[in-house]
Structure 1
Amino acid sequence: MNEVIMLVSLSVIFGSMLSGFATFRMTGMRLMPHFASLMIAFILTLASLFVDNNIVFYSAIAFQIIAPLTICGTICNILKTQFQNTGIYSSHLALMGMLFVLAIGNLFI
């Protein structure tokens, strides 16, 4: 069961990297920690599908939880000043919410 959830998490991370790239290009380097944590989460999640190691598995889950949290401080400031562009950020924020729920589900299932 964990492999199925990890595969869905991997697809959500990949989709969020694609949707977040446009956001990253618009906001500049302010979202670099978030984008870096997304890339690390992608690599660790991919590795956890092929390597049967608990450290890699729990590291992937940790970065799946950390990645949505790294956007909170930056995106709140952006949305306060550029509220007319919220439609651009909505798909990425939805994927981050899904990733957080999948990571928690991966932890307990």
Structure 2
Amino acid sequence: MAKYECRLKGNFNELLNWLHSDIMNGSSSVSYEDGSDIKLGDSSVAVRVYERYSMTGGNRVSMNLTVTGIGEELFVSAITSGGSQAVFFKINTIGEETFLELCRDSVENYIQNQ
């Protein structure tokens, strides 16, 4: 499992669309599995689940992406899992790290373009 979190400022829907586009275009094997959106008062929360094939691990890796926002205050949490082939402990988590990098790079590019 690998995790990335970041606080930033911006537009909630713009960031969500930005991330989705970058993740979907980041690998030919990426698929959007499902998502959930909720608005509670002034706050918004979006959860997205993506999968992609990890050639190094020979399996699929998933990424859970959660974006929360109140006004221009945003928070992103991305967690990847599933890249190991071992039974009792994790080995070869390169696929998870690589998938997470895609999200991290997208967030950093969004911040630079603000």
For the superposition of Structure 1 and Structure 2, which TM-score range results when normalised by the shorter chain? 0.3 to 0.5
Greater relative contact order, per chain length (Cα 8 Å cut-off, separation 6+): 1
Structure with greater strand percent: 2
TM-score after normalising by structure 2: 0.36
TM-score after normalising by structure 1: 0.37
Structure with greater helix percent: 1
